[in-house]
Structure 1
Amino acid sequence: MTEINVAILGASGYTGAELVRLLAGHPVFRIRALTADRKAGLPMADVFPQFTGEDLPVLSTIADVAWDDVGAVFCALPHGTTQEVIAALPGHVKVVDLSADFRLKDPAEYAKWYGHEHRAPALQKTAVYGVTELAREQIRAARLVANPGCYPTCAQLPLVPLLAAGLIEADDIVIDAKSGVSGAGRAAKEANLYTEVTEGMHAYGVASHRHGPEIDQELSLAAGKPVVVSFTPHLIPMSRGMEETLYVRLAPGVSAADLRAELVRVYAGEAFVRILAEGQVPQTRFVRASNLCHISVHADRRPGRAILCSVIDNVVKGASGQALQNMNLMFGLDETTNLRLRPLFP
């Protein structure tokens, strides 16, 4: 296949750097442009020294990108800044947007949670929400894919098939989530200083995190009726990784074994989703730096209930890895291309 030139917008952040790592050695995609407006003119290795010696473009502004020479864009810009940028891109460019700007389908819901009206509503209507394993065919045909958030990805992979099959009740789902600090981005913030996050953990965004409505939206589609989950994220003193413990009420006559059997059936043959053997519990350390999601299912000691555990690397399957998985599909490639990464342990 002919090489395809790629631009990464927002390359100075964690997800941008991870895209550079994942694209290294890709047989089709070639990095042609890396943007970071405040660091324009610097070599990528000055911003991320792990790329010392790599043949990469110098960081530039978005205005300096030669779009005629670019076929694919990964947009890793902050929320709220992406809409007008993507709206201004030439029509031949395919885009995976890693921000939240095109995830919520309801413009009023977007305005409620993000504090301003959507600035590209026509484009928003065309965006495909892309948990790869759950939306392959729509992604293949898309020009713009809204890459899901990390917490929603970790929750939807176990929950969507169970809601779609009617095996769990839609009105009683609790999501207890934990993430490494990289999920907050690279910008300097007092709350993310070492002494603020080490040797402890804490909840944040309680009943107000922006990933809540994103989870509700997609679970509602799976259930065929409105779903509002109880979702609380926590910050854990580790650089990357995400674990979610999901508490569900079983539909009448359903057992935890039935949930596990359905997940095994749905994800049979999947490259990146692994349903663990009975009695095993997933751990973030065993998916670190990979595009994997490990899921387990357990009978609760309370009758009629079950507990699911789901882990991903928040920067890979929760962001840049899934973005590359989606872009591979958009260009007719095997979605696993350059993503069969073994987890990094110890």
Structure 2
Amino acid sequence: MIKKDNFTQNIELKNKTVEIKEEEEEVEEEVEEPIEINYIPPKFTFTEEELKNHPAQNPRLIRSSYPGVSNIRLNYEGKCGEHFKYPPHTTRDIVFGAFEEYSNNSPEQVIFREKIARTLEITRTTLSKAKFVVCYKGNLSGAMEKLFKYYNVELIKAPAKYDHFHIANARFFLFYDYMMKHRSEIDRVLMIDLKDIYVFADIFAAVDPNQWVMMSECFDHRFCLHLGEGQWHNEKLREFYGNPPLREWRKLNVVEINSGLHIGNINKAIEFCEYYISNFDIKYCDRWAYEQQMTNVIIWTKPNKINAVVIDKCDQLMCFPAGLPAIFSFSNSNSIRYAKDGCSPIVLHKGLPPLWERFYNFENKIN
């Protein structure tokens, strides 16, 4: 049974820096108006000297104990470790991912494979006790099969009934099917984008398992996209919902949810997937980005809301820096920390600098 309740955001959007200017004159058809962004992004990165001027001066950084991130120096000391107040991950916790391989030999596919390898190298070794399950569509190349075997990942091929689905849309159906078969074996669930979610510390130990935590599209602690803002997002909303009431949605003042990360206990995971499936419009099953736009609409605008959902802003727990990873320092000494307080992030979605690719020699591991 899906329960009704109000949604909560982890941090109130007090310092909103996106201003929407709308015309007073009424028009018969909704016409998207330009969004004025009163925001100047800070620097991409900081030098060690510049970081001395930040609130947490010279934090004590230690090398990660996880093999996959052993080259990275992290700070979870003192107040930076306060998130870790729940039981650490165990063999009864599960990490879900999904993918579809389109071509074995194209340059794009090689890059895609390397991105997945980097995600697994970091996340799989951080959550070494957890079970990893990846659902996939289509054929599996020898290189991908070797990669998943190397990282001890269980592979589940999607049944034929999902052949016409985009894998991003099918994944929550596939995760749900797996969870219903193995419910008694699972305590907590983490669902991730397989190519660009980086877990640097035990996220299971940092999240209340009785909540269903999702990631926002906040690029730092000041700047977030909100529902009804952003040209690309609004184009997708129109594609799937015709002429949506964007003005009304903006007035809700709620952040855009990113579908790249979901975490909570097994009951919350099943509850979310049931809600997703019950609202899914099958005619968009093959359209990329439908699952994220639908999630935002059903989370923020539907009256029948699932219980105890938290949408986390960009903070130490998790952040979606995308092309603006300005709040973090990626120093020459291979440290990563939040410039605001010196703490290292627990999870990042995208945002790692290209130079970090030199830490991993993927092809030697999978070929």
Instruction: Give the TM bin, normalised by the shorter chain.
Output: under 0.3
TM (norm. structure 2) is 0.25
With normalisation by structure 1, the TM-score equals: 0.26
Structure of greater relative contact order (alpha carbons < 8 Å, 6+ residues apart):
2
Larger Rg: 2
